[in-house]
Amino acid sequence: MKIDVLTLFPAMFAGPLNESIIKRAREAGLLDLTIHQLRDYTHDRHKTVDDRPFGGGPGMLLKPEPIFEAVEKISRPATKVILMSPSGRPFTQAVARELAQESDLLLVTGHYEGFDERIRELLADDELSIGDYVLTNGALPAMVVVDAVTRLLPGALGDAESANEESFSSGLLEYPQWTRPAEFRGMKVPDMLLSGNHAEIAKWRAGQARVRTRERRPDLL
C-alpha cells in the first residue's frame, strides 16, 4: 500500500513510524510511506499556507491553492484523499479495515481553525477524526491512521501479534489477563486460570469481557 501524508510538520513523523511493526512493514515493502511538506507547494516569498476567514472570526484557515496543487501532484487515479480533523467522521477499527483494502491513501493534515471549505468539497473523499479532543495539528492523527491501517496489511503481523487482532473483533473490551509469577506482592492470579479447564476458562473470560465493557464502554454493548 502507498500512503502519502501532506503536513506542515514532517519532522513529527520521524519517530513513531520508524519503530517496531511499522518499521518492519516498510522494510518488507508492504507500506510505501512518503511525507510531504505543504509549504513546498506554495509560490509566494513567505510560503503562505493560511489566511483569515471571510466574515471575520478568530484564527486562520488553510488556503486552497497549496493544498490543491499538492494533492493534484501527489495523487494517482486510485488515490483516496482523506482530511484529518476534529470535524471528521469517527476513525474506528471498522474504518481501519476498510482503508486497509485501498491501494493508495493521501492523508491531508490540518491545523488552526480548519480548511477552506472548497478543499472539503472538491478534493476530499473522506474526513476522519481520531476522537473528540483538539490537537495542535493533524500529524498525530495521521500517524494513528497509518499505524492502525498498516498493521492490518497481510504479512504485517507475526503470529504472536496476529492473535491480538481477535480481541477487538469480538466487539468487546479485552478480558483481564495475568502472566507469571502466579503470586506477586500478595496478589494472586485467579485459580480458574490455573485449572487447565479451557472450556471453563473461555466462558469465564467472556463474562469478564462483558463486565468490563458494561462498566467502561456501555456504548459498545
Q: Return the number of the residue (107 or 209) whose C-beta is nearest ligand JCQ.
A: 107
Which residues, 6 or more positions from 99, have their beta carbon under 8 angstroms from its beta carbon?
80, 82, 105, 145, 149
Q: How far is the CB of 24 from ligand JCQ (least distance, A)?
A: 27
Q: Please, which residue, 113 or 174, has the CB nearer to ligand JCQ?
A: 113
Give the neighbor-by-neighbor strand order of the sheet with 61-62. 50-51, 61-62, 114-115
47-86 residues in contact with ligand JCQ (CB under 6 A) are: 84-86
Amino acid at residue number 135: L
Q: Least Å distance between CB 138 and ligand JCQ?
A: 4
Task: Spell out, one character per residue from 106 to 135, where the chain touches ligand JCQ: x when CB under 6 A holds, - when not.
Answer: ----xx--xx-------------xxx-xxx
Q: What cell numbers appear for 23 in the block?
A: 518499521
Distance CA 6, CA 95 (A): 20
Tell me the closest approach of the beta carbon of residue 155 to ligand JCQ, in angstroms. Answer: 29
Q: Do the beta carbons of residue 158 and residue 152 sit within 8 Å?
A: no
CB of 108 to ligand JCQ, least distance (A): 9
The sign of the CA dihedral 124, 130, 133, 134 is: negative
- In the bound state with ligand JCQ, the residue whose beta carbon lies nearer, of 33 and 130, is 130
List residues binding ligand JCQ (CB under 6 A).
84-86, 110-111, 114-115, 129-131, 133-135, 137-138, 141
